[in-house]
């Protein structure tokens, strides 16, 4: 027994002591852990952010939270959230209703990125009003490989990773998270402790000797994470603490008359006025710069090899299991430009069916031929125009009963 203590227990105690001493040194701590800004929640008055990179602590405390007057509807998507004007929900709804829309996302914010953002905030998900905008473009070409690793890091910060890794109540969802991170782990030049922990957790879940081999590393990383939180945030026992209790505010209903027919007619006319040099209903400047009459053919990926589809299915399971007040929008693409959209229709039908099977509402704007495509709903070849956004506004307002007026 004495030999065992001297040979095994004592070295571990010494190693942990040295580790804590090194980690406590300010310069070393800055090297080991990314510095986060304090959670300046009250200073955030922005209805739209591209990602969580510039103020991670502040935005993470803002994300999925209600304001004082009403619950907030969160709109999650990709490049379409940056393309539009007054019709964008975080403009139109915010300017007319007490209930506000906050939007997150830019190009590349696909299903796994959205999944990770939601999973990291598992304690805030129940009844959270969340609108997820799905672009069918995500499911073909190289996009079908899933969220780009670099884009993933713009949204899933170290704090979010730790919240996922140390949350034992999200079983299968955590397993999927660490497995997906492991898929692209080797692409990172300097993986963070959170990334390493995810990779190790995935490795140890497969074989017993991997678990035995990695257990000292997991232990050391756990100590580092806890110690960093203690000295930087005055928190203790991070890995075991209970999630915060979170209550949502009720959505406020307003009584507002909106003449949708007039709004649709005028906005559609304005879109078409800006598309006079082509028969595709594409904005003149965009057509000249990016299209010039060139047709495109989609490289459709089969379901078995479509990682984006697998990510979508897990995202759908997450919002269903956690009782998110979710709804979905499936965007159209311009069939004048993309000549084989019919090949993508079966996959879009699968998305629509799976959403509705879970009893979520879905605005499916997809069409695959020029005969049924409504000119003016897009401003280019894939992004909603003002007219298209007003259609989405109407869907959100009706889905979440923002307006008492019938």
User: What's the pLDDT at 56?
Assistant: 87
CA distance 400 to 391: 15
**For the segment 203-217, what is each residue's pLDDT rounded down to a tens digit?**
777 665 555 555 666
- Distance set, CA 235 to CA 28, 133, 321, 403 (Å): 19, 36, 30, 43
Closest CA to 367 of 379, 353, 349, 385: 349
Pick the CATH number of 33-167+243-406 from 3.40.50.1110, 3.40.462.40, 3.40.50.9100, 1.20.140.160: 3.40.50.1110
SS3 279: coil
* Cβ–Cβ under 8 Å, residues 74 and 129: yes
Provide, for the chain, the percentages of residues in helix, strand and coil under a 3-state DSSP scheme, each rounded to the nearest 5.
Answer: 55, 10, 40
pLDDT of residue 19: 54
Q: Using CA atoms, how far apart are residues 146 and 151, in angstroms rounded to an integer?
A: 11
Query: Buried (b) or exposed (e) across 118-150, using 16+ Cβ within 10 A?
Result: bbbbbbbbeebbbbbbbbbbbbbeebbebbbbe
Tell me: the pLDDT tens digits for 259-304?
999 999 999 999 999 999 999 999 999 999 999 999 999 999 999 9
Residue 378 has pLDDT above 90, yes or no: yes
Q: For residues 72 and 74, what is the distance between their CA atoms, to the nearest angstrom?
A: 6
Phi–psi pair at 50, nearest 5 degrees: -75, -40
Please report which confidence band the pLDDT of residue 240 belongs to, taking 50, 70 and 90 as the band edges. Answer: very low
What is the C-alpha separation between 394 and 71, in angstroms, rounded? 18
């Amino acid at each position: 027994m004495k030999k065992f203590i001297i040979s095994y227990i004592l070295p571990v105690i010494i190693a942990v002591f040295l580790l804590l001493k090194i980690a406590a040194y300010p310069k070393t701590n800055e090297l080991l852990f990314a510095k986060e800004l304090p959670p300046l929640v009250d200073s955030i008055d922005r209805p739209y952010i591209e990602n969580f990179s510039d103020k991670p602590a502040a935005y993470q405390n803002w994300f999925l939270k209600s304001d004082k007057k009403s619950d907030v509807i969160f709109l999650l998507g990709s490049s379409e959230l940056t393309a539009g004007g007054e019709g964008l929900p975080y403009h139109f709804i915010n300017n007319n209703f007490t209930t506000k829309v906050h939007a997150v996302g830019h190009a590349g914010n696909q299903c796994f990125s959205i999944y990770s953002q939601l999973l990291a905030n598992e304690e805030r998900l129940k009844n959270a009003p969340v609108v997820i905008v799905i672009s069918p473009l995500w499911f073909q070409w190289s996009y079908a490989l899933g969220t780009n690793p670099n884009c993933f890091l713009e949204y899933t910060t170290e704090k979010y990773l730790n919240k996922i890794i140390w949350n034992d109540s999200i079983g299968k969802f955590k397993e999927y998270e660490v497995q997906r991170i492991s898929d692209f782990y080797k692409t990172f030049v300097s993986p963070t402790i959170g990334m390493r922990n995810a990779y190790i957790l995935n490795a140890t879940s497969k074989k017993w000797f991997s678990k035995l081999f990695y257990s000292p590393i997991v232990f050391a990383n756990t100590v580092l994470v806890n110690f960093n939180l203690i000295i930087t945030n005055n928190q203790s026992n991070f890995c075991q603490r209970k999630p915060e209790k979170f209550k949502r505010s009720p959505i406020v209903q307003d009584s507002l008359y909106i003449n949708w027919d007039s709004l649709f007619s005028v906005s559609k006319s304005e879109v078409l006025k800006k598309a006079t040099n082509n028969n595709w209903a594409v904005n003149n400047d965009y057509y000249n710069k990016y299209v010039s009459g060139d047709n495109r053919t989609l490289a459709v990926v089969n379901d078995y090899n479509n990682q984006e589809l697998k990510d979508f299915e897990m995202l759908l399971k997450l919002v269903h299991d956690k009782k998110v007040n979710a709804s979905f929008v499936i965007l159209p693409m311009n069939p004048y430009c993309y000549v084989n959209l019919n090949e993508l229709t079966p996959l879009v039908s699968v998305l629509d069916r799976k959403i509705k099977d879970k009893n979520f509402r879905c605005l499916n704007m997809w069409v695959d031929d020029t005969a049924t495509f409504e000119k003016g709903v897009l401003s280019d070849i894939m992004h909603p125009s003002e007219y298209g956004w007003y259609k989405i506004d109407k869907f959100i307002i009706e889905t979440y009963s923002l307006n008492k007026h019938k």
